[in-house]
Amino acid sequence: MTDTAQPLDMDSEGLRSRAVMALTNARRRTELLTSCVEDGELTAQHSPLMSPLVWDLAHIGNQEEQWLLRTVGGREALRPEIDSVYDAFEHPRATRPTLPLLAPAEARAYAAEVRGRALDVLEGSPLRGAPLVDAGFAFGMIAQHEQQHDETMLITHQLRRGPAALTAPPPPAPETARRLPDEVLVPGGPFTMGTSVEPWALDNERPAHATFVPSFFLDTTPVTCGAYLEFMADGGYADARWWASEGWATVREHGLEAPLFWRQEGGQWLRRHFGVVEPVPLEEPVLHVSWYEADAYARWAGRRLPTEAEWEKAARHDPATGRSLRYPWGDADPTPERANLGQRHLRPAPAGAYAAGESPLGIRQLIGDVWEWTSSDFLPYPGFAAFPYREYSEVFFGPGHKVLRGGSFAVDEVACRGTFRNWDLPVRRQIFAGFRTARDAGEGEL
């Protein structure tokens, strides 16, 4: 039962190339998300839940300046006067349009200048030694930060009204016509959760620690829109029995009757998806549901949401060797055949796709497609230490936030792995979140 190291037996040049690629991929995506609409769309606030796109763009540059130029490179600040404007903790999203934001052209120029200087810092860094630079951690952290904001900007694109600004080919259909089992038994026992060796893992993923998980059954695929419609048709949104008290209060207060972006028209359920209205795709994993909705569905189905430890064991544990893998399929990096990541497609793949990404137990789509709600609160692991700053994880710990796992089609591989932890408020629905359900294993089923 061991933690698996990332295959990064590289010299400094190999590490440097890896960091350049991660930063370049992130910037390419940022430019796509901010160049596909007019400047007026960049400065508008499309929802009080989200920042104007131009705020995200300059914030990306400002974080890169603070960490890579000033902290790692020891260089003089370029724009210290804007640090406060782009401090995510100082200004809530709803108020950011009132700030003296950089205009789109100025924000682009600033981010580009920072990037050029950051690459100079990277070129001169040994990428060994102090924790912040060892194996290029700070550069990987900034690449992950940019990709996380790219996902945030993609959410803003989904919230904005008007014609589609983004296009992408559809994801692949399942490769086989054979019917997958509805659920898979995950045998009980200890496994190594978290990591102490993944070089770019963030503080909340650390350290690796032994965790015991009793046997349980887990859905083979995420819950589909078709299955969720059965819950709706059975009066799921009108029956308090299935809802946590806070969730039921939210349903009543806002008149919820379906996932976000769904509406009924002429007896048919439709959804708005990146500017296109389409029939709800029955075979796709359900999307844009809150933790309360996921929990209510699971109760209605006579099941429950998996704990975070259960989810990670299903995604990483190899029962044949006892090892904890980097991904469900093994230690190799994600590929287009294994997982739906990186905005390659603008939607989840149908349930049962990506056979090449299957876990040793036969569970599919644990990485990519949709973030999966778990039943667990976002809490630190035993031995947790904040690094390199408290505001990344520590200030969010507690019962107010629920853990999501696995990533979505909107997540880049640099910010998604078997140990990666996401978290959000249980009421959130604009995020690209779905779920799968679990149940305890009875003695006769082991």
- What is the C-alpha separation between 404 and 152, in angstroms, rounded? 15
CA distance 13 to 123: 9
Tokens 């940022």 identify what position? 30
Residue ranges at the known binding site: 59, 93-96, 145, 149, 424, 428
Strand partners, 368: 340
Per the annotation, where are the binding residues for Fe cation? Answer: 59, 145, 149
Per DSSP, what are the bridge partners of residue 404? 373, 422
Residue 22 exposed, middle or buried by CB count within 10 Å (0-12, 13-18, 19+): buried
pTM (two decimals): 0.96
* Binding-site sequence positions for gamma-L-glutamyl-L-cysteine: 93-96, 424, 428
In terms of Cβ atoms closer than 10 Å to its own Cβ (0-12, 13-18, 19+), residue 23 is buried
Beta bridge partners of 219: 183
Measured between alpha carbons, how far apart are the two ends of the chain, in Å? 21
- Cα gap 130→144, rounded to integer Å: 20
Pairwise CA distance, residues 149 & 54, whole Å: 11
Q: Is the peptide bond before 92 cis (omega within 30 degrees of 0)?
A: no
162's tokens: 């008007």
- Domains of the chain listed by start with CATH number: 12-159 (1.20.120.450), 170-446 (3.90.1580.10)
d(CA 84, CA 110): 16
Q: Find tokens 């994600």 and name the residue.
A: 334
Torsion sign over Cα 75, 80, 84, 86: negative
Give the number of other CB atoms < 10 A from CB of residue 393.
Answer: 20
pLDDT tens, residue order, the chain (446 aa): 456 544 456 788 889 999 999 999 999 999 999 999 999 999 999 999 999 999 999 999 999 999 999 999 999 999 999 999 999 999 999 999 999 999 999 999 999 999 999 999 999 999 998 999 999 999 999 999 999 999 999 999 999 998 999 999 999 988 875 689 999 999 999 999 999 999 999 999 999 999 999 999 999 999 999 999 999 999 999 999 999 999 999 999 999 999 999 999 999 999 999 999 999 999 999 999 999 999 999 999 999 999 999 999 999 999 999 999 999 999 999 999 999 999 999 999 999 999 999 999 999 999 999 999 999 999 999 999 999 999 999 999 999 999 999 999 999 999 999 999 999 999 999 999 999 999 999 766 77
Q: H/E element holding 273?
A: strand 268-273
